[in-house]
Amino acid sequence: MRMHQTMRWYGPSDIVRLSDIRQAGCAGVVTALHQFAPGEVWPREAVRARRELIEAAGMDWTVVESLPVSEDIKKRRGAYREHLHNYARSLENLAAEGIRVITYNFMPVLDWIRTDVSYPMPDGSLALYFNRTDFIVFDIYLLQRPGASGDYTGVEQAAAKLRFEKMTAEQRESLFRNCLLGLPGSTEAFTPAQVLEALDGYKGIDEAALRKNLFSFLEEIVPVAEKLGLRMAIHPDDPPYPVLGLPRVVSTESDAVALLQAVPSPANGLCFCTGSYGARPDNNIPAMVHRFGDHIHFLHLRNTMRDKDGNFHEADHLDGDTDMYAVVKEVLVIQQRRKESIPMRPDHGHQMLDDLGKKTFPGYTAIGRLRGLAELRGLEYGIFASQYNATPPVSIS
């Protein structure tokens, strides 16, 4: 039993074609209907059309990434009850078309944050990078979030002030734009005022309140998913700690434990991202995979490299702070016990070779992910052959 290998696809507008993903050796595609805003229903006809498109390319679509949770649901304000109803309807339509895993996250306002999406690596490829000092520059000087300075030490503020003063207008604009790429609809040109308004919407919602809202969402949605034979898989926070004064509640092992205990169900589980969890030094990734094995419904395998100042970049898949050998070895044990393949995708490949200079979704160039998948496939093949004294099939289906 080996992992079901997939790649993420952003739909017909993605510069990476379905044929590229198939040629990379994938058996499946992970995608979403990005044309619908959070809170809207995904019509069954639209789901079917996307599924048929993928199947015509010789692959399957069994994992959604992501069915977004609206800000109103996260805050439990405004139109959240209507959005919950629509979420349940979308689950029904997805299940009717053969989807089995629903990925989502509960990060307020921003889904992910990086300060540089073209960080040069020694070999000339480009990676995603989070620099804490640059982020403080963004928070205090570019966004000018009220009270932002109180979140940082005097030493950090001094370093940020010096960095800001040395930046050109072009560098400041690039930093502002990069930090907002995780904002839904980030192809638009957002102003600081618009972002501050979104942040202000979470006034009065601390970590305890956001966690309570997450558990309420699960109490209402997980029974629907279980009845439909679906598995909900929550993606961890990226990065896995509070940012911009916003709480984060899916960052640590204890967060995952609390979430699973809040609504015990085979439908309540994890999208285990080794990169997001791995950006925290206090998360022991192989141990967490072992502990949560029966609750992992989807895997993001990527690696990050941290430093002592809180900066991290996307490393090669087999060369970062996470012991990927130990992770894959544990996943194979879990799959033999569960007697099922866990869907996996390589995540956040480097921009390299002919993809340099192309305008793609950050972290989602074709060749960098192909390289990551090839490395992970080889690692899995070697572990499987040695551990189970058998030659696994090269092609996964």
**β-pair partners for 102:** 64, 232
Please identify which of the residues 235, 295, 313, 350 carries the catalytic annotation. Answer: 235
Active site residue 317: no
Please identify which of the residues 119, 129, 152, 364 carries the catalytic annotation. Answer: 364
Report which of 254, 253, 331 is spatially closest to residue 294, judged by C-alpha positions. 331
| DSSP code, position 8 | E
Please identify which of the residues 152, 273, 297, 316 carries the catalytic annotation. Answer: 273
Active site residue 313: no
Report which of 65, 67, 31 is spatially closest to residue 49, judged by C-alpha positions. 31
Measured between alpha carbons, how far is 326 from 259 in angstroms, rounded to an integer? 25
Q: Exposed/middle/buried for 327, CB within 10 Å: 0-12, 13-18, 19+?
A: buried
Q: Exposed/middle/buried for 316, CB within 10 Å: 0-12, 13-18, 19+?
A: buried
Active site residue 111: no
Active site residue 202: no
| DSSP code, position 215 | H
Please identify which of the residues 60, 134, 347, 355 carries the catalytic annotation. Answer: 347
Please identify which of the residues 4, 295, 297, 348 carries the catalytic annotation. Answer: 348
Active site residue 347: yes
Please identify which of the residues 300, 313, 317, 350 carries the catalytic annotation. Answer: 300
Active site residue 348: yes
Three-state SS for 142-192 is HCCCCCHHHHCCHHHHHHHHHHHHHCCHHHHHHHHHHHCCCCCCCCCCCCH
Measured between alpha carbons, how far is 48 from 54 in angstroms, rounded to an integer? 10
Return the active site residues. Answer: 235, 273, 300, 347-348, 364
